Structure formats: C-alpha cells, structure tokens
Structure 1
C-alpha cells in the first residue's frame, strides 16, 4: 500500500474502483443491487457506531475511515440482488461484530470481515443465498415497487419466474448430467466468456483493479498469483479432459473471480505482507477456488478460499521474511 495515503483515502479509492462493477451489476440485475448496498451500508455504519460507543472509542474518527462502508459494499456485492433485508442484516452482524470488533477492530481482525459474513450466510441460509435473478440488460427485470416487496415485504408473487441458476451452478449441474462444457456454454445462461452478464462484470472489476494497481493502493503480487493459480489448475484439467472441465477463461470471467482477486484477497489487514508470502497467499487462494468450485459443495468459493488462507498468514509471514542485507543465511 502506498504510504502517502491515509487509511481513509485508501478506502475511498477502493470504493471508487468498485464503481464500474457496481454500474454493470445495476444494469444487469437492477434495483436489487442498490437495495443490497443501501441496507448493508446503513446497518454497518449503525453497528460500527454502537460498537465504538460500547468500547468507549471516539466514533467520528473511526467512522470517517470508511472501513465499515467498504466491508458493507463488498458483502452486498457478493450477495444475490433482491436478498431479504434480514439476510443482509445477519451478514453485517457477522462481519462487523464477530469478524471485526471482537478481534479488536480495524487492524486486528484475522479474517476478512465481508467474507466471514458471506460464508456464515451461505452455510446458514443456502436457499436465499443461491437465488439469483436472470441477468437482463436495462436495469434488471423488476420495477422499484416489486423490488421493495421482494426485499422488505412478503416477496414478489412472480419472483420465481425471474430467477435462474448462476453460470457456475449451471455448469456444475450440467456436468453432473454428463453434458460437456462446450454444450453448456451454448445455453442461454452463458455469455461470451463466462456466465451471462458476469463476463462484463468481471471485466469491469478487472478495470477497477488495474486502476488500484496504477494508484499503488495494492501491489500486483496477490491478484496476479491468484489468477495464475486458478488459471493453471483450470488449464491442466481442461487439457486433460475438455469434455469434463470448462476452460480457464470460463473460470476467470464467472462468479466473483475478479472481485475476489483485486478487492477481497488484497485486504491489507488479513493478507500476507511479505513479497513471497503474497505470492503464495494469492496462488493458494486461486488453487483452492478451483478445487472447491470443481469438487466442493459450493459453485463459487472465493469466501472459503480467502478465509482458509487468512488462517495461514501468520505462518507465511514468519517463514517468508526477506533476509536482512549483509546477514548470512541461517542466522
């Protein structure tokens, strides 16, 4: 991270870099993306204020670092649009209270708070967490009134007609039914590179991540290593059996790959801090992401891969410290 930036400036620049991806998610999925973001941000700021008050910490300085808002945005973008408000609320409680403040607040948390919230929701409410709307250009398929019914009311009566399995879900299910990846990629749920709509969303997050690299908010080590790990494993199995494993391009441009590589795995608090450690950290996340997507119970697994590697960070940082200039090896 560039030492010339304050924590608040870093968080603000990361939020700005999310805008291209958010804009395309709004275009493809509609008002539900906005309700996710607004509910998550409002609850996160409220909980952050309450916890700071209870811990007798100054509220304004900590709120103005934007860390709670960034956590809320990352969690909201990972959730299915039009998620019920109470699902978002539970996720924010897990992220802000359990994963952040119980560890001592910003700078002390061992795990990425947004991913802890997401993983807890996925394990606890699998039905609500796997109901995604059809990607449809033109700000989604539901109008604002129907969105409010779906999020805050008893649910929109025709909601089931507008939902569809994600591309990763469709690929996993289709392969289990002995369809080939090439056949599945020709179906309506797929796009030019990956899941319908998701290929453009991933490209948008890639652009935002490239801007963060340009501004020196993040370094190249983790995102490049993560994408390399995912691509390497996907390439090996695709070359071995193209009728059973989708292409590396599909994995790179489906799900939360680019969001995970540039905005989640690079969290400076919970990621490895040494150059070699960052490479191992990122590559391992990419490998785990492919393994869980392919053989695990969850089609997209950025949260689980990141949390597992968060646990390995102390070990990585201990054994990958660069040698002090002039010091002999073994000292």
Structure 2
C-alpha cells in the first residue's frame, strides 16, 4: 500500500509540475509556433521510448514507471530549454540522454545524482554548440518552413532569416555599443531583457508561484538563486557603457532564469533536502550562472551551474546539519 501511495503522490506531483509549466509553454508556443510543438513531440517520444526500452532490458514492469509522469516532465523541461527549430535529432538525443544517463543509469526515478533534463541539455550543448546557439527570431515560421528546418526537407525556398543571437550572446560579444544602443538596435534585446524571453520568464515565474502556493516546492532554492543572481549582477553592474555586464533585471528576465529557479533547482532528488541546504544550493547556482554568463565560454550557464551544485549536495547537507547543531 505504501508503494501504491508513493506512486500516486509522484503522479500527482508530476501532474502539478506539468500544469505549472503550461504558462511558459504557451508563451513559447506563441513565440515559436510549430517549432515548439515539434520539439515537444520529439522530446516526449524520445524520453518515453528510451524509458520503456531500458525498463524492458532490466526486466522491470514498464507501465507503472511510464505512468508516473517523470519522463514526460523531463521532456517538457528540455522542450522549454532547447532552441525551437533545432534539427530533429538534437531534441531526440537530449531527451534520450537525459533518461538513459541522468535517470536509468542510477536505477530510475528517485535515485538520480544529477538533474536529468540539465544533463541531457549539457550533453548536446557540449557536443553540438553551433546548433545550440541557433535561436529563432520571434516571428513564427509556417509549417512548411518548420518541417524544412527541423527535418532538413527540401520543400521550397529556405526562409531568409530564422535565427538570431540571443540577448546574452549580444551582451557577451559587444565591444562598442552602449546598453541603450544595444536595446535600440540588437534584435535579441526587448524592453528589459531578451526579446520574447521576458514574457517567457514571467510566464514560468507565474507557474513557479503556483507550485509554491500548492506547496509542491519550497521557497528556499528559488529565492536563493534569484537573490544571488540579482546581488551579483547589481554589484558587477557598471552602468550602460559598452563594457557593461547587464543590469539585474536583464539577467532575471533573460535566458532560462525562471525556468531554472522554479523547475530545475527545486528537483527533490538531485537537489538539496533540508531548508538551509536548499537555500545554499540556490545561492550557489545563481552565482555560478552569473559567473558563466559573464566570464565563461557559454552565454547561459544554467545547466553547468545546476550540475556542479548537484555534486555539492552532500557537502551542503553536512554544513546545514552542523549549523543546526552548533
């Protein structure tokens, strides 16, 4: 009975996470149309097929595990993080790797050392960096152009321009323009942060607040991440000159900030368990994201930040326990 109750609680939690992802996914759908839908379909098929195949190889019952919703949540998080209109094999590799290397390698749900979605994302980012930097323009491509981009089909003329540098790319590579000039001229800049990603981040913030309201997650890791990212960017913000690292609002509303804050660092298995350790986990992730964004080799270092903090969880738990006993 305990096992059945645990499975039911897991399914209920995964269903609530999927519901909370809906505002962000709908915003991405509004921005990217068919590209987002194809990404979601490819990630879901690859994740579920990989899970089913590995469960069969291990001679474990497949249907209960497939029904718990964890593989689908991984697919949805990857869909939100991967570039729309990426070649079909990229989301397939990311989702398959997330399930195989991030979940089943450690024995299945509840045993993973690393966040599966971030492990799959980091693998394709390291393996295919050029494809991972081809983010779409905010205009929606039609179905024909989408199929042409995703599956490499020859269905007519290629669209003139479908990819652009993101706001974080533009900020890192800027050498001469002021921040005001970047916002006025660079296609990746919106009003306060990245064009389009401002709305996506606000939508995932809304979903995260729902998870907090329903007590699916606690406030510690999200607040730790957002606070440390805000403070670091505020302390290192040197105005609007050409050498500026960007304002706190720009960092909060660009990239995958809110997705990571409410849906990634709150993952209960690979993340911290005690409240104090969760807060430290979020603080560390936020600082690493800022450091990688500003001085690292990748515009948005969220995946690497989370994976590095996953390795620190045992130490964070020991520090938290010592703080309680002292």
If the length of structure 2 is used for normalisation, what is the TM-score? 0.93
2:86 to 83, 97, 102: 83
Matched-pair contact (CA < 8 Å) for 1:21–1:205: yes
Q: Which residue of 2 aligns with 1:178?
A: 176
Residue by residue over 1:220-242, the C-alpha shift from the partner in whole angstroms, topping out at 9 and shown as x without a partner, is 0000110001000000011x454
TM-fit CA distance, 1:155:
6.6
Matched-pair contact (CA < 8 Å) for 1:181–1:245: no
Q: 1:234 and 2:237 equivalent? A: no
Distance in 1 (alpha carbons) for counterparts of 2:47 and 2:154: 24
State how many pairs are aligned. 317
Distance in 2 (alpha carbons) for counterparts of 1:186 and 1:203: 22
Distance in 2 (alpha carbons) for counterparts of 1:5 and 1:186: 51
Q: 1:219 and 2:199 equivalent? A: no
Distance in 1 (alpha carbons) for counterparts of 2:164 and 2:46: 28
1:124 to 101, 122, 127: 127
TM-fit CA distance, 1:261:
0.3
RMSD between aligned residues: 1.8
If the length of structure 1 is used for normalisation, what is the TM-score? 0.92
Matched-pair contact (CA < 8 Å) for 2:201–2:258: yes
Q: Which residue of 1 aligns with 2:285?
A: 285
Q: Which residue of 2 aligns with 1:114?
A: 117
Residue by residue over 1:104-149, the C-alpha shift from the partner in whole angstroms, topping out at 9 and shown as x without a partner, is 111111000110110010110011111011113xxx1x11122112
Distance in 1 (alpha carbons) for counterparts of 2:315 and 2:133: 34
Structure-2 change in CA distance of 1:93 and 1:160 (3 Å): farther
Q: 1:147 and 2:146 equivalent? A: yes
TM-fit CA distance, 1:24:
0.8
Distance in 2 (alpha carbons) for counterparts of 1:98 and 1:159: 36
Distance in 1 (alpha carbons) for counterparts of 2:323 and 2:88: 50
Q: Which residue of 1 aligns with 2:37?
A: 34
